Amino acid sequence: MVADPDVDYTTTPVSVMKIVDFMYKVGRIKKKPESWKDMFFPEAYAAKADTIQGPFYADAEAAEAFGRRLLVAHGLPEQDAATVARCLVRADLRGVDTHGLQTLPHYLERVRRGLINPRPDLKVERVTPMAGSLDGQDAFGFVVATKAMAEAIDMAREFGVGIVSARRSTHFGMAANYALQAMDLGFIGIVFTNASKAMPPWGGRAGLLGTSPIAVAAPGGKEMPFDLDMSPAVAARGKIRRAARRGQQIPLGYALDARGRQTTDPNVALDGGTVQPIGGPKGSALAMLMDVMGGVISGAAFGGDVRNHFEEYDQPQNVGHFIMAMKPDLFVSREEYSARMDTLVQRVHASPTAEGFDEVIMPGERERRLEANHRRTGVPFHAKEVAMLQEAAAKAGLPPLAGFPGKSVCHGGLGWSTVVLLRAHGRIALIDTGNMSMRTMLLKRFAERGLKPADITDLLLTHSHHDHSANWTMFPKARIVIGAEELAWSLTVPWGETPVPELYMRELDIWPTVHKAAEGEEVFPGITAHLAPGHTPGHLVFVMHAAERDLIFAGDAAKNRAELVSGTTDMTYDAAISRATIDMIWAMWRKRPGNIVVPGHDVPMVLENDATKYIDKREAAGISAWYGDDMETTTLFKLTL
């Protein structure tokens, strides 16, 4: 073995390979290194291993701003661009990513080909005091439908009901956008649209009907509202396109091939195949109803004549919409309406659960939860979708979508971890060490700061897993702090079955400079240790008490922003205990304004209005945290004290 300078190797890499074997067996890595040497020299292994890239996250505001810039660059007025971007991102927030920002490049292509008019002059023609007709002028469907609903709301405000029928429109994304537009102002919103052919009439095998959505939103009282957005198809065609783009299969029942046979191959389904209606003839009839209300009565295309937004570039789509707003207190008082809605929601929630269900929820309740969660954690995007968006921005000469990685695992599965360097009171400390494949990076970062491993005086380990502790042998002269309960537990785990490097922990247990910390103990000047079980039984969270704020080093008690916000963790021996630990971290976080949390596999973050926000890496500070997938992309984040 080639030893690093100033490191006295006293252990062997046998247990590291046990970890690799275990991770391979459970599917955490796709390929195994051929020998332990690949773990010490990951550059050689990296060329042979798959890189697993998790979701890319962007704050909703940043995603909207990105979309708005792209749209303005393609000729849209600022206000219309903001409308389109807001509708796209809200679909992502609600988990309807098939209609989200990743579809924007398709819209822009239609603009470039002259099939979408970026600058319409939309006017609603009143045909009665409470009904209007709107020529969409081949504009963005988002702009047409938003204008139509605004006019319908004005009518409903005066007459109780307002209806607008739109023609010559285009794909308008998530239908719920416009029903919610009415509901947010206290009205009931009803939205129908037709769409390009994708589904046969019941008994047929050729596409004729669209997967045309139905959206209805009604305000609640003290309880949650009613919020329906559904397609008459088992699965929207967008889900099949998404599966094809991501190289995934689709479930049986989603689609038929060109000969009318069931298929799980999304590419076969898209090549002349069709989607299937919900409930057989019932779903087919609902799709026909959307064609009547959206197409026939409006003057738009219908019966298979609406052009496919994603595939047909020969002429404009000519989509039709039916948009309606209604006062909820037309027939009963507003107070009575609200009370009755609350009763309905309460009865739904109180319904006994069937086998396999934990709760009974209202239509739209799942989407509302997702939206609240994504507003805190950021909007997730698949890597291929991000690539499409970044390419579109580059073509327009615009900055890329700004975001942050969710989970990234490099070198075939042995993930990189946050490592924190502290200089205080004449001492130099590290919080966690990363795994074996981070050694080269650590040595390089030390050298940049004029340091050697022998200069580290204190090593604080959050827990015993290899990706946080395995490099303790680089610092044999340091005082090494680990939780007493954690170290004791690590000595009892079955060999080869956990991420604990067994030999390393046995060596650490008898190491002369090890310090086994207790709850609440000051383990470094100004830093206290706190038990944070769940990920492991004796996991520690370290809290640094600075003059104006605290820094909470969470380790894997909360590995990333998503776990902090959702309270749901993976790789935990007890989910309930992990959730309680995350509650404890939140209590610490909220204790002082400006407090910072540093997760074990994510970048540092602060709270703004109780929402998480990543720290700008350009801020000056005296504490650094590293996060990245390799030496080239590893970022040095500065924490402000």
Please compute the mean of the pLDDT values over residues 462-475 and round it to a whole number.
Answer: 92
Window from 273-287, 299-313, 531-545, 567-581 with minimum mean pLDDT:
567-581
Closest Cα to residue 166, out of 202, 228, 122? Answer: 122
**Cα–Cα distance for residue pair 256/203, rounded to 1 Å:** 13
Give the SS3 label for residue 46: helix
- What was the pLDDT predicted at 561? 77
pLDDT digits (tens, 9 = 90+) for 52-80: 234 577 888 889 999 999 999 999 999 99
Is 318 in the same domain as 286? yes
Window from 141-150, 208-217, 459-468, 544-553 with minimum mean pLDDT:
544-553
CATH number at residue 243: 3.30.60.50
Which residue did the predictor score with more confidence, 320 or 596?
320
Is 268 in the same domain as 296? no
Whether 4 and 453 have beta carbons less than 8 Å apart is answered as yes
How high is the mean pLDDT of the chain? 84
Which residue did the predictor score with more confidence, 505 or 49?
505
∠ CA 479-481-482, rounded to 5°: 150
Please compute the mean of the pLDDT values over residues 32-44 and round it to a whole number.
Answer: 39
Whether 294 and 300 have beta carbons less than 8 Å apart is answered as yes
Q: How many CB atoms lie within 10 A of CB 194?
A: 34
* 386 found inside a domain: no
**Cα–Cα distance for residue pair 257/267, rounded to 1 Å:** 9
Which of 4-13, 251-260, 449-458, 592-601 shows the highest mean pLDDT?
449-458
Which of 5-14, 283-292, 396-405 shows the highest mean pLDDT?
283-292
Is 477 in the same domain as 523? yes
pLDDT band at 47 (very low <50, low <70, confident <90, very high): very low
Whether 176 and 367 have beta carbons less than 8 Å apart is answered as yes
**Cα–Cα distance for residue pair 32/477, rounded to 1 Å:** 33
Integer-rounded Cα radius of gyration of the chain = 28
- What was the pLDDT predicted at 624? 37
- What was the pLDDT predicted at 238? 78
Task: Assess whether pLDDT exceeds 60 at residue 286.
Answer: yes
CATH number at residue 569: 3.60.15.10
* 147 found inside a domain: yes
Give the SS3 label for residue 613: strand
Please compute the mean of the pLDDT values over residues 19-27 and round it to a whole number.
Answer: 51
CATH number at residue 75: 1.10.1530.10
pLDDT digits (tens, 9 = 90+) for 158-200: 999 999 999 999 999 999 999 999 999 999 999 999 999 999 9
Domains held by the chain: number: 5
Q: How many CB atoms lie within 10 A of CB 641?
A: 16
Task: Assess whether pLDDT exceeds 70 at residue 626.
Answer: no
- What was the pLDDT predicted at 356? 85
Please compute the mean of the pLDDT values over residues 411-427 and round it to a whole number.
Answer: 68
Closest Cα to residue 270, out of 306, 304, 242? Answer: 242
Range of the domain at 590: 420-619
- What was the pLDDT predicted at 177? 98
**Cα–Cα distance for residue pair 616/410, rounded to 1 Å:** 24
Is 472 in the same domain as 504? yes
Please compute the mean of the pLDDT values over residues 413-434 and round it to a whole number.
Answer: 79
Is 218 in the same domain as 130? yes
Task: Assess whether pLDDT exceeds 90 at residue 11.
Answer: no
* Pairing, β 458-460 against β 479-483: parallel
Return the half-sphere exposure (C-beta side, CA atoms, 13 A cut-off) of residue 545.
11
Task: Assess whether pLDDT exceeds 80 at residue 568.
Answer: no
Tokens of 553: 């080093």
Tokens of 176: 């719920």
Task: Assess whether pLDDT exceeds 50 at residue 549.
Answer: yes
Task: Assess whether pLDDT exceeds 80 at residue 359.
Answer: yes
Is 360 in the same domain as 452? no
* 308 found inside a domain: yes
201, with CB counted inside 10 A (0-12, 13-18, 19+), is middle
**Cα–Cα distance for residue pair 360/364, rounded to 1 Å:** 12
Closest Cα to residue 418, out of 600, 242, 632? Answer: 600
Task: Assess whether pLDDT exceeds 50 at residue 38.
Answer: no
Is 497 in the same domain as 533? yes
* 372 found inside a domain: no
Which residue did the predictor score with more confidence, 404 or 410?
404
Task: Assess whether pLDDT exceeds 80 at residue 42.
Answer: no
pLDDT band at 600 (very low <50, low <70, confident <90, very high): confident
Helix or strand holding residue 360 (H, E) = none
Task: Assess whether pLDDT exceeds 90 at residue 323.
Answer: yes
* 377 found inside a domain: no
**Cα–Cα distance for residue pair 79/122, rounded to 1 Å:** 13
Is 335 in the same domain as 478? no
List of long-range contacts for 41-48, beta carbons under 8 Å, 24+ apart: 42/411, 42/414, 42/436, 42/437, 42/440, 43/440, 45/411, 45/412, 46/410, 46/411, 46/412, 46/630
DSSP 351: S
* 530 found inside a domain: yes
Tokens of 493: 């785990």
- What was the pLDDT predicted at 419? 86
Residues 6+ apart with CB under 8 A from 26: none
Exposure b/e, 296-334, CB count within 10 A at least 16 = b: eebebbbeeebbbbbeeeeebbbbbbbbbbbbbeeeeee
pLDDT band at 434 (very low <50, low <70, confident <90, very high): confident
pLDDT band at 21 (very low <50, low <70, confident <90, very high): low
Window from 65-69, 250-254, 382-386, 554-558 with minimum mean pLDDT:
382-386
- What was the pLDDT predicted at 12? 28
Q: How many CB atoms lie within 10 A of CB 359?
A: 8
* Pairing, β 550-555 against β 596-599: parallel
Please compute the mean of the pLDDT values over residues 121-150 and round it to a whole number.
Answer: 98
Tokens of 636: 């040095």
Please compute the mean of the pLDDT values over residues 265-289 and round it to a whole number.
Answer: 91
Residue 531, beta-bridge partner list: 540
Helix or strand holding residue 427 (H, E) = strand 427-431
* 263 found inside a domain: yes
- What was the pLDDT predicted at 256? 86
Tokens 């102002």 locate to: 185
Please compute the mean of the pLDDT values over residues 516-544 and round it to a whole number.
Answer: 95
Tell me which of 337, 366, 395 is where a domain ends: 366
Task: Assess whether pLDDT exceeds 60 at residue 24.
Answer: no
* 469 found inside a domain: yes
Percent helix, percent strand, percent coil in the chain, to nearest 5: 35, 20, 45
pLDDT digits (tens, 9 = 90+) for 486-519: 999 999 988 777 788 888 899 999 999 999 999 9
- What was the pLDDT predicted at 436? 77
Task: Assess whether pLDDT exceeds 50 at residue 342.
Answer: yes
**Cα-Cα-Cα-Cα dihedral of 24, 25, 26, 28, to 10°?**
10
427, with CB counted inside 10 A (0-12, 13-18, 19+), is middle
- What was the pLDDT predicted at 59? 83
Counting residues of the chain whose pLDDT is more than 70, the rounded percentage is 84
Task: Assess whether pLDDT exceeds 70 at residue 51.
Answer: no
Is 249 in the same domain as 354? no
**Cα–Cα distance for residue pair 245/238, rounded to 1 Å:** 10
Q: State how far the alpha carbon of 195 is from the alpha carbons of 300, 304, 314, 319, in Å.
A: 11, 8, 16, 6
pLDDT band at 358 (very low <50, low <70, confident <90, very high): confident
Q: pTM for the full model?
A: 0.64
Which residue did the predictor score with more confidence, 33 or 417?
417
Which of 148-152, 194-198, 246-250, 462-466 shows the highest mean pLDDT?
148-152
Tell me which of 333, 351, 366 is where a domain ends: 366
CATH number at residue 142: 3.30.1370.60
∠ CA 99-102-108, rounded to 5°: 95
Is 424 in the same domain as 355? no
Please compute the mean of the pLDDT values over residues 547-571 and round it to a whole number.
Answer: 84
- What was the pLDDT predicted at 416? 57
Is 157 in the same domain as 291? yes
pLDDT digits (tens, 9 = 90+) for 235-247: 877 788 888 887 8
Is 64 in the same domain as 163? no
Helix or strand holding residue 638 (H, E) = strand 635-639
What are the start-end ranges of the E strands in 548-627? 550-555, 596-599, 605-608, 611-614, 623-627
pLDDT band at 15 (very low <50, low <70, confident <90, very high): very low
pLDDT band at 41 (very low <50, low <70, confident <90, very high): very low
pLDDT band at 155 (very low <50, low <70, confident <90, very high): very high
pLDDT digits (tens, 9 = 90+) for 438-449: 788 788 888 888
Please compute the mean of the pLDDT values over residues 345-360 and round it to a whole number.
Answer: 94
